[in-house]
Amino acid sequence: MRVIGTLNDEKKGLTFSLFLHQKGIEHQLEMQPNTDWGSPDYGSSICKIWIQDEDQVEDAIKWYNLFKEHPLDPIFHASQPLAAQDFAVLSSSNRNAPPSPPASSKPTKLAGWENQPMGWMTRGFLIICCLLFLATQLIKSSSTAPNNVAVLSIVSSPVDKTLLYDYPQFYELVDRFIRFYGYEGLENTKDLPNEAQALLQKIEHTPFWQGFYHLALSEGFQNLFQGNFGAPLFEKISEGQVWRLFSPALLHGDIFHLFFNMLWLIVLGKQIEQRMSKGRYLLFILVAGIFSNTAQYLMSGPNFVGFSGILCAMLTFIWVRQQQAPWEGYQLDRLTISFMLIFIIGMALLQSLSFFVEKFFDLGMSPNIANTAHLSGAFIGLLLGRLNFFSWRHT
């Protein structure tokens, strides 16, 4: 099943669909409004013609091209099925004969993607993300750190501890200290018992990975080039907790973060799932998630969450498929794609600007956004979109 063409007029779409029906060519007609604001046909109906049988695609394309050239030819407006005719019968001049009344049989219409049911795998990821967010909010620590004490917010939720990309020994030591001595112990360290003092000393001398970004800010680029990172990487993953490679994508920082990502998961994920086998769709999500998560971890350490790296991969994947295989019928207008790409690139430029401001002016202005996950996700989406392995399969 593939798209052979698009007609920007509903009446023409119905006429041609009826003609294909009379010719015995199995097809579906997908009708939806044109929502591309940059298009001169904005607001008009778009009709996509899907041919169900690959063996009939070649004939359907020939008839489609002839219809585009001669939409008023009586051959396309006959009320009864026509005998087989040579395609050369049509003259090169456009004929002005009025169309005949449509036949009683109606063409099959295919609902637009927004009206089609969501696949169970996309729905599953949506539900999991929402449930994990709810669990994080319900079982997080009720105590809060004083304003004058800089403590990692990571220590507040057992869900985060289990699913973040890494939970290094440094975090565990801080968590243990707060559990036994509270935040007050961090404010008044002089009154702490010897055991607490020893634990603080251990915390101060326990390195943990904070990312290339922090390393470049604090120690310059020389250590980066020499490979002198000064902290262990992948602490929990190296212990066998391999789910952490993907699980940060299922966590979200606040309700707006969750809502925005789940909205785009519905828009993008539903289309991809409709055109792939379940196994390949799951593989796509896993590859995009692991790649973007790992890139973000290497850049900034383990303090990041969100599905947006995968969403950026979906966005660029759909864009590539629209260019390479338009018959697959992915529906995402160019204005939406342009807006999202401008947003991603804009955030990357803002991150670069903040780095130079922090590096040379000692002013903290880094945006709390996983820009590396966005960029790396967009990159892996471009690569996966070029693989025939992830091309559309009708099942």
- The reply to whether the predicted model has a pTM over 0.85 is no
Mean pLDDT within 161-184: 86
d(Cα 147, Cα 149) in Å, to the nearest integer? 6
The residue extents of the domains of the chain are 2-76, 120-168+208-390
Please state whether beta strands 45-51 and 27-33 pair in parallel, antiparallel, or not at all (unpaired): antiparallel
d(Cα 56, Cα 69) in Å, to the nearest integer? 20
Q: Which of 304-308, 315-319, 346-350 has the lowest mean pLDDT?
A: 346-350
d(Cα 253, Cα 268) in Å, to the nearest integer? 21
Check residue 309 and give its pLDDT: 94
Q: Which of 28-32, 104-108, 195-199, 221-225 has the lowest mean pLDDT?
A: 104-108
Q: Are 327 and 3 contacting, i.e. CB atoms less than 8 angstroms apart?
A: yes
120-168+208-390 CATH fold: Rhomboid-like fold (1.20.1540)
Using one digit for the tens of pLDDT, what is the confidence trace for 292-303?
999 999 988 898
**CA diameter of the chain:** 100
Catalytic residues: 308, 374
Check residue 293 and give its pLDDT: 96
d(Cα 97, Cα 109) in Å, to the nearest integer? 27
The reply to whether 120-168+208-390 shares the fold of 2-76 is: no
Of the ranges 6-10, 33-37, 57-61, 368-372, which is most confident? 57-61
H/E element holding 259?
Answer: helix 255-264
Mean pLDDT, all residues of the chain = 79
187 has a pLDDT exceeding 80 = no
Check residue 99 and give its pLDDT: 41
Using one digit for the tens of pLDDT, what is the confidence trace for 238-270?
999 999 999 999 999 899 999 999 999 999 999
Using one digit for the tens of pLDDT, what is the confidence trace for 69-97?
888 888 887 654 444 444 444 434 343 44
Check residue 326 and give its pLDDT: 79
Highest CATH level, class, for 2-76: alpha beta
Cross-strand bridge partners of residue 27: 51
**Residue 55 carries which DSSP code?**
G
Q: How far from the centroid of its chain's Cα atoms is residue 281's Cα?
A: 12
d(Cα 277, Cα 293) in Å, to the nearest integer? 24
DSSP H helical ranges for 23-166: 57-69, 120-139, 158-163
Mean pLDDT within 206-231: 69
Does residue 143 or residue 332 have the better pLDDT? 332
Q: Is 29 left (phi over 0), alpha (psi -120 to 50) or beta?
A: beta
The fraction of the chain above a pLDDT of 70, given in percent, is 76
Quick one: pLDDT band at residue 34, thresholds 50, 70, 90? Answer: low
Specify burial of residue 91 (Cβ count, 10 A radius: 0-12, 13-18, 19+): exposed
Check residue 175 and give its pLDDT: 84
Using one digit for the tens of pLDDT, what is the confidence trace for 80-139?
444 444 444 443 434 344 444 344 444 444 445 455 668 899 999 999 999 999 998 888
Check residue 7 and give its pLDDT: 85
Does residue 317 or residue 365 have the better pLDDT? 317
